Every structure is written in structure tokens, then in C-alpha cells.
Amino acid sequence: MKGLNKKGQVLSSALTLGWKLFLIAGITLFVALTVGSIFTAKQDIRPAEVSILANKVMECITNNGIIEPNFNLNGCFIEDNELYVSANLTSIESNFSRFIFSGKQDLGVFCKIPDMIKEGTVYCIDQKYYVLINNQKIERGMLELTVGVKKYESNI
């Protein structure tokens, strides 16, 4: 059986070692890039923010589906200057209606602009709820809630 000389053996070992090192480096780079892309990816959490806020506001202003006609949004988690909440309460049975808002008024204007224009600046949701208004007698009503949140560093 023919064998390799010493030079050939050294060269062969060096090539094998180099290839193994290249493999390890490739795997390390893949793991670093994959994990890095997950942890550094920008996540827009504004849809979650407005959804949770709308739920909290409803829990704050209604009780078993009943809402007081003089309800207000004070103390309903809207201290932040980057948020906007408006509530439009309308009675289905009478001509009672009431509109109130809290937060930054400018955001409310943005919420009325079509998605194409406001994209990347403000995220808003409009949601309708069936409610009962405790207006001397219990009246059927509808509450239209608009919740908007501005884009800032910590939510994207």
C-alpha cells in the first residue's frame, strides 16, 4: 500500500483541521445571525397596547354593562401623553348623547386620517359596544370607543 510522505501528511492534516474550523465558524455565524435577528427585530406592540387599553377603559367605565351618563375617563389608565381615548355614548331609545375624550387631542385627528397617511405614526382602533345607560331609567345605548397610540421608541 502506498503512503504519503511527511509533507503530504502535514498538508492533509492542516486542510482537514481548516475545514473543521470553517464548519464550526459557519455554524456559529448562523446561530449568531438567527438569534440576533430575533432579538433585534422591531416589534410593533401598538395594536396590543390599544387593544388592552380599550379593554381596561371599558372595565373602568362600565359595571355589568351599565354606564353612568356622566361617566368620565379620569383615572382610566390614560395619564400618558402618547395616548388618546375618546368615547361617544349614544342612547338608542332617547336623544341622549355624550362625547368625551382624554389624552393628546392631536392623536384624535390622526385617528380620522386613512391608514395610508397615518401609517407609521399613530395606530388607532374604533370599537362599538352595546351598553345600558343608567339615565334615570335603564336605556339601551351604544358606546363608540376610539383608542390611539403614538409611535415612540419603546413601542416599536
Where on the chain is the footprint of another protein (CB under 8 A)? 1-4, 6, 9, 12, 16, 19-20, 23, 26-27, 30, 34, 38, 41, 43-45, 47-48, 50-51, 54-55, 58, 62, 64-66, 92, 125, 127-132, 138, 140, 142
Residue closer to another protein (CB basis): 56 or 80: 56
CA–CA dist 10, 21 (Å, integer) = 16
Spatial CA neighbour of 87 closest among 29, 128, 26, 44: 128
Q: How far is the CB of 117 from another protein (least distance, A)?
A: 17
- HSE at residue 91, side-chain half, CA atoms within 13 A, is 16
Q: How far is the CB of 74 from another protein (least distance, A)?
A: 20
Residue closer to another protein (CB basis): 100 or 142: 142
Residue closer to another protein (CB basis): 26 or 106: 26
Q: How far is the CB of 153 from another protein (least distance, A)?
A: 19
Measure the N-to-C terminal CA separation of the chain; round to a whole number of Å.
67
CA–CA dist 105, 112 (Å, integer) = 12
Amino acid identity of residue 17, one-letter, is L
